[in-house]
């Protein structure tokens, strides 16, 4: 089924213990779309400035990603982020950020995309996410992401959004901040009271936790020894989850568990290079091989 993603498209400078890269293609929608396209065609909605290199959009178009929803705004500058990771690389330090075009009016979902059935609202202001919800009236599954900034500064608007979506993906720190609960299972159950049918809590190198109205499930990560750059790993995880759900055309208990396994596997590739370098080369066969290894590693009697 049709899968649409709205989110940021940016230009990144990245620093990790493995080195530094500048002017790398980034943004939540980019990582998500590349991951999801391993399982299903993707419709992308976002906005860039006229400084954005056309090669970036051409790369996305080659990956079964429909970029008709990407606006190149004349006279505007593309979102830029400079992030730095040290030590265990569990958290990024923002060295510099220039919102540029993201501080202007939001993107518009094209009429041709309005019939999208599966929709992921990547991290942005919750009011803008709610506006996107209104533009996809036929959506069967609406899932969103959020971050500390909105939890702390826009709590009421975020709660209005959560009342309108079916699922939420966020990390463990954000789950605790949103609910004021330290136990992640308890935090997940508190989030369900706000409206979503399920919440997936990302736990970094410790995997992910699903809390739903009829299930509790812990998904281990695919163990990766060569960690170069964690940027976009969470967005790619979400892309793998939503891509698989859209491909299957359903979101029942077993399919959601299976989708989390795909997200775990796809996210592991991202860690192995700077930016989208590794993710852009991954094939469906690569993902299936790693999935088979994950199954083998997690079986026990």
pLDDT for residue 50: 93
Alpha-helical segments (H) within the chain: 28-36, 54-61, 126-134, 148-153, 155-162, 172-179, 184-192, 233-248, 253-270, 284-298
Q: What is the pLDDT of residue 196?
A: 98
**What pLDDT was estimated at residue 80?**
94
Please tell me the predicted confidence (pLDDT) of residue 106: 85
| pLDDT reported for residue 105 | 86
CA distance 197 to 274: 34
* pTM of the full structure: 0.95
Picking from 126, 165, 132, the residue whose alpha carbon sits closest to that of residue 148 is: 126
The CATH superfamily label for domain 3-298 reads Ribokinase (3.40.1190.20)
Whole-angstrom Cα distance, residue 82 to residue 69?
26
Q: What is the model's pLDDT at position 89?
A: 80
**Phi first, then psi: what are they for 192, rounded to 5°?**
-60, -30
Query: One digit per residue, pLDDT tens: the chain, 301 residues?
Result: 789 999 999 999 999 999 999 999 999 999 999 999 999 999 999 999 999 988 999 999 999 899 999 999 999 999 999 999 988 887 788 899 898 998 888 899 999 999 999 999 998 889 989 999 999 999 999 999 998 888 999 999 999 999 999 999 999 999 999 999 999 999 999 999 999 999 999 998 899 999 999 999 999 999 998 899 999 999 999 999 999 999 999 999 999 999 999 999 999 999 999 999 999 999 999 999 999 999 999 988 7
Which strands sit side by side in the sheet containing 208-212, from one edge to the other?
65-73, 42-49, 3-6, 118-121, 141-145, 167-171, 198-202, 208-212, 216-219
pLDDT of residue 145: 96
Distance CA 244, CA 260 (A): 9
Cβ atoms < 10 Å from Cβ of 188:
23
């Amino acid at each position: 089924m049709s899968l649409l993603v709205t989110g940021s498209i940016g230009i990144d400078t990245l620093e990790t213990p493995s080195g530094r890269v500048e002017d790398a293609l980034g943004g939540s929608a980019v990582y998500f779309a590349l991951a999801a396209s391993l399982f299903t065609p993707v419709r992308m909605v976002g906005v860039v400035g006229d400084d954005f290199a056309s090669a970036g959009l051409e790369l996305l178009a080659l990956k079964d990603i429909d970029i008709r929803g990407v606006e190149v705004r004349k006279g505007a500058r593309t979102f830029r982020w400079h992030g730095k990771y040290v030590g265990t690389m569990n958290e990024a330090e923002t060295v510099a950020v220039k919102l540029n075009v993201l501080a202007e009016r939001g993107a518009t979902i094209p009429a041709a995309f309005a019939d999208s059935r599966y929709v992921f609202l990547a991290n942005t202001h919750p009011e803008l996410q709610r506006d996107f919800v209104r533009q996809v009236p036929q959506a069967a599954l609406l899932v969103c992401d959020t971050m500390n900034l909105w939890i702390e500064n826009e709590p009421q608007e975020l709660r209005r959004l959560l009342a309108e979506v079916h699922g939420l993906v966020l990390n463990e720190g954000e789950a605790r901040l949103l609910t004021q609960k330290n136990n992640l299972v308890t935090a997940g159950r508190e989030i369900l009271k706000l409206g979503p049918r399920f919440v997936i809590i990302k736990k970094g190198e410790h995997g992910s936790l699903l809390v739903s109205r009829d299930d509790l499930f812990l998904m281990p990560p695919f163990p990766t020894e060569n960690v170069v750059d964690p940027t976009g790993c969470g967005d790619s995880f979400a892309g793998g989850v939503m891509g698989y759900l859209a491909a299957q055309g359903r979101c029942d208990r077993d399919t959601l568990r299976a989708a989390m396994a795909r997200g775990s596997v796809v996210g592991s590739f991202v860690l192995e290079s700077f930016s989208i370098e590794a993710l852009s080369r991954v094939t469906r066969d690569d993902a299936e091989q790693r999935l088979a290894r994950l199954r083998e590693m997690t079986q026990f009697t």
